[in-house]
Amino acid sequence: MTTVDDLWYLADVASQQAEQTYHDLAERYDGFVEFTRHRRVERPRFRTVAEDARDHGAPFGAHTLPYRPTGELLLVRHDGVGKWVLPGGELDSGESFREAALRELGEESGIEAHIEGLGLLGRVEFYCGDNNTWGILPVFEARAETTDISVRDPDGEISAARWFEELPEDTRDREEILRWRGRRFDRP
């Protein structure tokens, strides 16, 4: 008996959902910085990201660019990647991107913020053998309403959170964050 591989179909449906989600966000927001990333992944990881992209278009969930009016940005230390990253993560059932971004911000830093728009919109392309798909990475700009840090990450991935005037060299997506910051605050 021959097993039919449905990965190509899953990848196609995921790409269609990512396209729809991208257009929905692009029509609702303007002035965001766009970027693209390419990832070659193993088959099990490809299936996981394709399933997430199929379900809501965003395999990495939603993130925030939390800032103070003076321009400092909040980053969290993600032990799994060994870098400073923007707070964020996967969507819970029934959550919007904005709700997920704010929930993750609270869990990973204790900060409360007000979303003011979409700061970054990434396209993440995934490849595995002959299969490919993609998903979006929405990153909302959020003005901090509280600034006292308290890491309560239930996943145990975040070990620290800190306000930065100058971004550390080991900041993931550093160039894109600096481009956004330059637009938002007229400075690098």
Matching residue, tokens 């299969």: 131
With b for 16 or more beta-carbon neighbours within 10 A and e for fewer, the 78-107 pattern comes to beeeebbbbbbbebeeebebeebbbbbbbb
Q: Is the pLDDT of residue 1 over 60?
A: no
Per-residue pLDDT reduced to its tens digit, 87-129: 999 999 999 999 999 999 999 999 999 999 999 999 999 999 9
What's the CA gap between 31 and 115, in Å, rounded? 14
Query: Mean pLDDT throughout 123-143?
Result: 97
Token representation of residue 22: 């991208």
pLDDT at res. 3: 46
* Predicted local confidence at residue 156, as pLDDT: 84
Q: What is the 3-state secondary structure (H, E, C) of 90-147?
A: CCCCCCCHHHHHHHHHHHHHCCCEEEEEEEEEEEEEEEECCEEEEEEEEEEEEEECCC
Mean pLDDT of 1-16: 81
How far apart are alpha carbons 119 and 144 in whole angstroms? 14
What tokens appear for 24 in the block?
């929905």
Q: What pLDDT, on the 0 to 100 scale, is given for residue 187? A: 55
pLDDT (tens digit, 9 = 90+) per residue, 9-41? 999 999 999 999 999 999 999 999 999 999 999
Say how far apart CA 174 and CA 35 lie, in whole Å. Answer: 12
> What is the architecture, at CATH level 2, of domain 7-185?
Alpha-Beta Complex (3.90)
- The domain locations on the chain are 7-185
For the segment 40-62, what is each residue's pLDDT rounded down to a tens digit? 999 999 999 999 999 999 999 99
| CA neighbours closer than 13 Å in the CB half-sphere of residue 151 | 17
> In the prediction, which pLDDT does 163 show?
97
Terminal Cα-to-Cα distance of the chain (whole angstroms): 60
8 Å CB contact between 47 and 10: yes
Average pLDDT over residues 143-152: 91
CB 77 within 8 A of CB 159: yes
pLDDT, residue 2, reads 40
Would you place residue 167 in the very low, low, confident or very high pLDDT band (cuts 50, 70, 90)? very high
Q: Tell me: pLDDT of 75 over 90.
A: yes
Q: What are phi and psi of 178, to 5 degrees?
A: -65, -35
- Token readout for 1 is 């008996």
Q: Over 80: is that where the pLDDT of 188 sits?
A: no
> Are 65 and 167 contacting, i.e. CB atoms less than 8 angstroms apart?
no
